[in-house]
Amino acid sequence: MGFDLLVGGASAKPLPGVLGDSAPRPALRFQVDTFAFPNELRIHYPDKPDLYANWCFIMARAVTQFLRFARFEREAPRLEPAAYTALVRRVLTHQPWQEPLPAAARVAIPGFASLYALSGEEEQAVKAGLGRRFWTLVHPTTWRIAYPARRSAQFRLVVATVKDLRAGRPVQLLLSDFPRLRLNHAVLAYDYRIPSPDTLELLVYDPNDPTAPGVVAFDRRTARFHPAPLRGVAVDSFRVFRMYRSRLF
């Protein structure tokens, strides 16, 4: 099934890039390369005293960092929780836009087969290693939501994202409904599908829900994105920005 990325009306021209029906293979393995614990939503846990909320930017970014800079050694002896905290911090010293390291140069995580297994059994140690949220608030991409987003820019974003997914690279996305300020959320796209000529769906790791992939749908007719579904996202449509492609964006 084809998907024509056309901007404008009848005289529109296709944007560059060839889209297949799906990526050759997903850019990550859900519930293997992702976290086992959620970024908790206040609407779902209103009375929880130690709510783990507002970590979606860091969790989505960390999945990419583990994919590129860590290796898991299931047969190696397990460590104390503090040692796993230190290893998580070592992985996160590498920037997500950097090229993946060769296996021998990656941070070795002993005793576990995957990030999902590690974060399921050593949840508190992993959370302690994820660091602070301050820099996500001042990251330049966060402030780009205040600028108008042209239809053509959203089309180009889809093309660039699909190209990365077809090359096996997950893409972190910032979702925003600015200026309404009901949505400011990060997900990690790892695959796509084309259910109709007017719709492209991005399959995403959503930190809000470790149990099932989320879906971000792009409507070619309106050049808008929609939750299809996303846990805790109640807005009908939103704009999307790519994140952590470089030190600035």
Q: Which residue has tokens 């149990």?
A: 211
pTM as predicted: 0.89
Give the pLDDT confidence of 159-212 residue by residue, as tens digits.
999 999 999 999 999 998 865 676 689 999 999 999 998 999 999 999 999 999
C-alpha span between 99 and 106 (Å, rounded): 12
The predicted model gives 84-95 an average pLDDT of 97
If you average pLDDT over each of 8-17, 101-110, 130-139, 142-151, which comes out highest?
101-110
Helices (H) and strands (E) in the chain, counts: 7, 8
Strand partners, 14: 6
Amino acid at 164: D
Rounded to an integer, what distance in angstroms lies between the CA atom of residue 97 and that of residue 247? 8
Residues composing the chain: 249
What 8-state DSSP symbol labels residue 227?
A: E
CB contact at 8 A, 217 and 201:
yes
